[in-house]
Structures are given as structure tokens and as C-alpha cells.
Amino acid sequence: MDKILPLRLESLKYGLDSISINGTEYKVGLVRHYGGDRKNDRGGGFFNFEKQDKLLLGFLKEFQILNSDGEFKDKESNIKVCQFLKDYAEGEAFQKEIPEDKSDPWRNELAKLLDFYKSYPRQDTPEHIEDQNKRGGLAHDIDKYGFQLYDSLGTDESGDVVMTRFQGTGVQRNDDRDMENFEQAYKEAKQEYSRLFKLCLLNSDGSFLNYDSMMEYWNFVLTHTDQEVYDYHMQLRDNGRNARDCKERVEKIRERLQPYYNRKYNIPLEYTPYIQLSVNGKPVQLVKYTKKLHCALRELFLTRRRDPVQVNTLIVNQFDIIRVPPGIKFKVRKLNLNGNLSVMCDSLKRIIDESSYPLEEISVIHITHDDSQHETIRTARRLVLCSHVWFQTLLGLQNKVVHKENDDGALFVTNYIELIESWMNSEKEVGTTWSFGVRDESKLISLMEAIPHGNMVGEKERSIPLPLTRSVLHVSYQEAASGALEPWLLKMVVKAM
């Protein structure tokens, strides 16, 4: 039998759409490819975008031109539709308008649909979606019509460890009122783009739009001063930029509107969705989209192990969902927590191996008095406070080693004196060590002068007897190590007498 070596990780950090292992971020996103792109899947095969011939099928059924079997209900309907498509094609070729026909309302609706979809399926990827794909894609799922499910990464599966139940920012209504608003916005944006495009005179590649634009340009250049021509070029440049911005706005509104038409007329997606895995922002793998983006994170742990995975530092935020295969346990030395500590510590007990407790170190962003009394927090061998903490909470801490990284201005000399006096009246264990990052040396100088019953050991040190434990409280300060948040370090250490 092959020997399975222990899996040791220096750091492990979970996010809703990513896992960071030893500082390397593995992230999943949904990317959309148009135009028959061929992309390798994990197994080395290909996913082909197969052209769909169903653009009109749902529409004609909706208006009862086709029956449930997809056949024309009569010969006259067949002739009407074929003639309309012929007229539309000729009208589009010669830029003619299709006359309204109130006797057959489907005509105007179909003209609008054909104008919206143009060629189907679309071959060119919209620029903003192409940029989005390069940045890792969407961080949420889509449904079969293309509606974006913004809260989908907050979904949990059986076995997932949920810190705090995710409350979404709001569900998109996706109703007819939205559709009407998007249709109006799309119409107005297209009209504005058409107006701006005509002012450009030039295509994006620098060629003239047409013969008339070329003549207009040279007529201006040949009849105006150099300064006027320069200003003219600047104006053309601004027109081009405005037109490009407006085109992007048209595309984004089209993206929001298209799922409504897809749903109304049962039109298949004109792009192929994939799940993309990125490593430190660089795409490395595409796999078939399974409608559950959040489950793709589980694939980053492809191993089934009997022994716990050894993690030096596990980093967890309040709204994270830890997705691991069933049976996986972590043997953790250090925890970095940001959120409701009591809730998070209770949730993490499901995946942290019992042999990890008491934890070597816990770093917290915020802590309350109740949090400080939780068994996981209270028994940690070292507690690191990364942000503000109320003084009364500080007084109640029972940890042997505590470090407060930053000086938030909330602790004054009088607070430090009160803390020292509380230690003089309690039985602190030898080896108890608390330290504080301090911004101003003047505060430390004042503290040294104000310490009660202290014996001067040096300019920056005081020694205070602790009669209850026959030990000594040693208070000192020094310059902090390179990279510390604050320039000075105050230390309080209980030593044997």
C-alpha cells in the first residue's frame, strides 16, 4: 500500500469564491464565451458551442402560429411568416422600416426581436464581458435564461461549515416592470449611440465611416487654420470616446434585457458558460458549467484522507463558507478570525481536530467581553488583538499571552496604571506576558514615571513586587521590531522573584 504523506499547509484562507493556500489564491468564476470558441475541459476533450435553431420557435408558439408539436397551424400562417422574414431581410438590407400591422401584432414584436438579436448566436464577445472574463468572470451563478443569481455563492451544501447565514443584498425581481424599463433604456441608449457615432466620422481603426464623412473631414481641414484643425481633431477624439462609452452602455443594458426575452420566448443562451479556475489572477483551467459555482471550490481538495490536514494558520471571515469534502479535518495551530467570535468558534469545531485545542494562537479583529469568555478564545495560548478593544474587555482577558498590535488612542496612561494595579491584586501566573504596540514614546515615558510601587531597573524598565504570587511584574518598553504596526512596544511580564 502506498504511504500517504502528511499534508501540511502554512496558511489556509477561505472566501466565498476563493481559497488561498500558502499565499496562493485559487479562485472560481463563471466566464461566458461566444462564437463557437473551443475550450479544453479538464479531461482533455472539447466543449463545442452548437448553433441553436430555436430563436423563432418559442416566439411563434407564444403567438400560436405554431402548434405544440412545432408545426404551423395552417398554410396561411406559414406563408405570412415566410413573407415577413423576406420583407424584414430586404428592409434591413436597404435600411427600410417595417410598416406596422395592427391586424397581426406579432409582426412588430418579431421585428423588435430580430433587431435585438441580429445574428444568432452572436459571434463577437462584447468588450465588457471579455474584460470581465479576463478578471475572473462572474462571482455568482446564472439560470438557464441568463439571469444572474447574485447571492448564489452564499449557498451551502450538506457538510459545509457556515460561519453566519448569509443575508443577500436583495433579489433581482426580473418581472415585466423591469423588462419595460430595460427596453426603454435600451432604445434610448441606442439612439444616443447612433447620434454620437455619426459625429465621429472615423471608425475605431481610423478609417472613414463613409464617403460623406471623408469629404466633411477634408473640407474642414482644407478651409480652416491650424489651430482650428487641432481643436477639430480633439473634438473628434472626444466624440469617439463618448461613442465608445455609449456603445458599452448599450451592451450592458442589452445583457440585462436579454434574459427577459430568453425566458419569454424560450430562447437558448447564445453563449457557452464555463467555470474558470484562476491561480493568483491567472486563468489556468476551464470546466463545464454545472449551475453550482460554489461547489467548484470543493474540487480544490481532491483528496480523501484519514489523517487531519495540518494547517499552520486558518483564516476565516464571518460570512465565509468552508467547503471541504466529507470527513476532512484540520489540525490547526493558529486562527485568524474576523466576525462574531463565539459563533465562528462553535462552527469551526466541526472541522478542527480535537487535538488542536488549546490553539497555539488566535488573532481577532474585534472582541467583546462575551467572546473573551468563550472556551476556544479563553484557552488560546496566545491572543492577538488586531484592532480596538474596550478597556473593560481587556481587564477581563484570562489568556497568559496577549499582544495588542495597534495603538488606537483608546488606552491612556491611567488605563495602563489600572491594569498594572489589577495584576498586583490578582494571582497572575509566572510567564504571563502582555504587550502593546504604542505610537508615541511620550506616553511610555509618562507611564514609567507614574507606575506605583515600582523599582527603577533602567530608564525604560520598572520592577513591581507581586506579593500574592511571590513574583515580580516587569514593565518595560523598547523600539518595536521592523514591520510592526507601531514604532514602540510596551511589555508586561510576570517573572519569578
| Of 493, 444, 451, nearest in space to 472 by CA | 493
What is d(CA 42, CA 287) in angstroms, rounded to the nearest whole number? 6
Q: Looking at residue 274, what is its pLDDT?
A: 92
Q: Looking at residue 101, what is its pLDDT?
A: 58
What is d(CA 179, CA 174) in angstroms, rounded to the nearest whole number? 7
What is d(CA 14, CA 25) in angstroms, rounded to the nearest whole number? 10
What is d(CA 332, CA 221) in angstroms, rounded to the nearest whole number? 73
Whether the CB-CB separation of 325 and 158 falls below 8 Å is answered with: no
Average pLDDT (68-94) is 77
Q: Are strands 321-322 and 161-162 parallel, antiparallel or unpaired?
A: antiparallel
What is d(CA 362, CA 342) in angstroms, rounded to the nearest whole number? 13
Whether the CB-CB separation of 153 and 139 falls below 8 Å is answered with: yes
Looking at 349-462, list the stretches that DSSP marks H as alpha helix, in order from N- to C-terminal side: 369-372, 375-378, 391-395, 413-424, 441-450
Residues 6+ apart with CB under 8 A from 58: 264, 265, 266, 267
pLDDT at 477 over 90: yes
254 conformational bin, left if phi > 0, alpha if psi -120 to 50, beta if neither = alpha
The proportion of the chain whose per-residue pLDDT surpasses 90, expressed as a percent, equals 37
Encode pLDDT of 339-375 as tens digits: 999 999 999 998 899 999 999 999 999 999 999 999 9
Q: Looking at residue 40, what is its pLDDT?
A: 40
Whether the CB-CB separation of 258 and 269 falls below 8 Å is answered with: no
Cell of 455: 523599582
Q: Which pTM was predicted?
A: 0.69
Q: Looking at residue 1, what is its pLDDT?
A: 39
Task: Compute the Cα dihedral for 197, 203, 207, 209 and give only its sign.
Answer: negative
What is d(CA 233, CA 229) in angstroms, rounded to the nearest whole number? 6
List the helix and strand counts (H, then E) for the chain.
Answer: 13, 21
3-state SS, 249-298, equals HHHHHHHHHHHHHHHHHCCCCCCEEEEEEEECCEEEEEEECCCCHHHHHH
What are the residue ranges spanned by the domains of the chain?
Answer: 57-117, 175-268, 299-496
Peptide bond into 358 cis (omega under 30): yes
| Of 401, 399, 376, nearest in space to 316 by CA | 376
Rounded to 5°, the CA angle 30-188-113 comes to: 65
Cell of 304: 480523501
Q: Looking at residue 174, what is its pLDDT?
A: 65
Encode pLDDT of 3-52 as tens digits: 444 568 888 888 878 888 888 888 889 999 987 544 444 333 322 223 33
**What's the mean per-residue pLDDT of the chain?**
83
Encode pLDDT of 425-457 as tens digits: 888 899 999 999 999 999 999 999 888 766 767
Task: Compute the Cα dihedral for 268, 269, 272, 277 and give only its sign.
Answer: negative
**Helices 106-117 & 226-265 angle (0-180, nearest 10):** 120
Residue 480 half-sphere exposure, CB side, CA atoms within 13 Å?
Answer: 21
Whole-angstrom CA distances from 263 to 147, 179, 234, 266, 497 are 9, 11, 45, 5, 80
| Of 290, 311, 312, 308, nearest in space to 299 by CA | 290
Q: Are strands 455-458 and 461-466 parallel, antiparallel or unpaired?
A: antiparallel
Task: Compute the Cα dihedral for 295, 297, 300, 303 and give only its sign.
Answer: negative
**H or E stretch at 78:** helix 75-93
